[in-house]
Amino acid sequence: MTKAVCAQKSPYKVELEAGDYFWCACGRSKNQPFCDGSHADTGISPVMFSVEQKETKYLCGCRASQGQPFCDGSHNKL
């Protein structure tokens, strides 16, 4: 299995509509913070999450969060 890469050392602030989303867990997507299929052959799968209503979320950019796909401040320790 390939190790996830840090896409950035801060969270992605995103405005999301209600629906399902796939967060990039490998860090290789060109469509950060969302999956674009770049994880192929890495052994890493995207993380699906749902949003019930329109809201702002902070998605992990460093891939070190214990609460993936959401930021927990782990980037402050890198």
Average pLDDT, consecutive stretches of 10 residues, N- to C-terminus, the chain (78 residues)? 92 98 97 97 96 98 97 95
The single-letter DSSP state of residue 2 is P
Name residue 48's beta-bridge partners. 22
Question: Distance between CA atoms of 58 and 33, rounded to whole angstroms?
Answer: 10
Supply the pLDDT for residue 59. 98
Asked if 52 and 65 count as a contact pair (C-beta separation under 8 A), the reply is no
Strands 12-16 and 19-23: unpaired
One-letter amino acid at 40 equals A
